[in-house]
Amino acid sequence: MRNGHSPTDGRALGVIPLLLALLARERLEARLLTHLFVQFPLLLAAGALLAGPRLPARLVPWNRGGAAGLALAAVILAFWMLPRVVDASVGDGRWAFAKFVALPVAGAALAWSLPLAPWLARQFLALQTMAMAGATGWLYLALPERLCLRYLRSEQDELGAALVIAAVASFFFWLGQVLRAPAGEPTILRPGRPFPAEASA
């Protein structure tokens, strides 16, 4: 739908997930699972869409290989996974505002950086994210403690199970993609050259 239009047309779509996350705020935040599995992704998607796929030219020298942007996204996401920060974003308006800024920024950073990242770095990030999600989910299930004051212990179990399922499912999806790659193309299981994306550098 972008054909013949200026690139800003696609970006404007980012307003939709942002408004959804904002208008359905109370409903989404009423449950831990929808808070983290629906509102968070909506805000990331909003940021990614609003930013557009292309890194602005003056930022290019600051984000070679997407390193700075991926670091920024990782730092923001790690911070917003802290139980006390999740709690605060429900009870405190300032923290809620911070969430509606920080997560779209992380989404924008991902959109501007992932396509620039070397192939090997992308595989590493994918596996790392799955491992973290799986381990965190398992931790939520195993800990007897209620981690969020704003949410029930049973909701923590729900989120834990969802994280484990998402981690396992995305691992098999990833594995399927890697195994199904055309014979000539290098995969992590069949490396063609040691560092394909860096080979031309």
Partner 1 sequence: MSPSGRGRTALATAVVLLAGAGAFLAETEGLRAFTSETARRLAVARSPRPLPTVVLRDDRGERLTFPIPGRPMLVEFVYTSCPTLCVTLGATFTRIQDRLAEAGAPPVLQLLSVSFDPARDDAPALRAYAEAHGADPTRWRVVLPESEADLRTLLEAFGIVVIPDGEGGFVHNAALHLVDRGGRLAAILDPDEIERAVEGLGG
Angstrom distance (rounded) from CA 181 to CA 190: 10
Closest approach of partner 1 to the CB of residue 123, in Å: 19
Stretch that binds partner 1, among 3-11, 44-52, 87-95, 177-185 (CB under 8 A): 87-95
With contact defined as beta carbons under 8 Å apart, do 142 and 121 qualify? no
- Residue reference for tokens 């705020």: 25
Integer CA distances (angstroms), 75 to 103, 131, 167, in order: 11, 17, 20
Q: Footprint of partner 1 on residues 26-85 (CB under 8 A)? A: 60-65, 67-68, 71-72, 74-76, 78-79, 82-85
Q: What is the number of alpha carbons within 13 Å of residue 135 lying toward its C-beta?
A: 6
With contact defined as beta carbons under 8 Å apart, do 97 and 41 qualify? no
Nearer to partner 1, 27 or 84 (CB): 84
Closest approach of partner 1 to the CB of residue 3, in Å: 32
Does 189 bind partner 1 (CB under 8 A)? Our answer is no
Residues 6+ apart with CB under 8 A from 95: 85, 88, 89
Angstrom distance (rounded) from CA 108 to CA 118: 18
Among 27, 54, 153, 190, binds partner 1 (CB under 8 A): 153
Give me the 93-132 binding string for partner 1, x by CB under 8 A, dash otherwise: ----------------------------------------
Residues that bind partner 1 in the complex, under the rule CB under 8 A: 60-65, 67-68, 71-72, 74-76, 78-79, 82-85, 87-88, 91, 145-153, 201
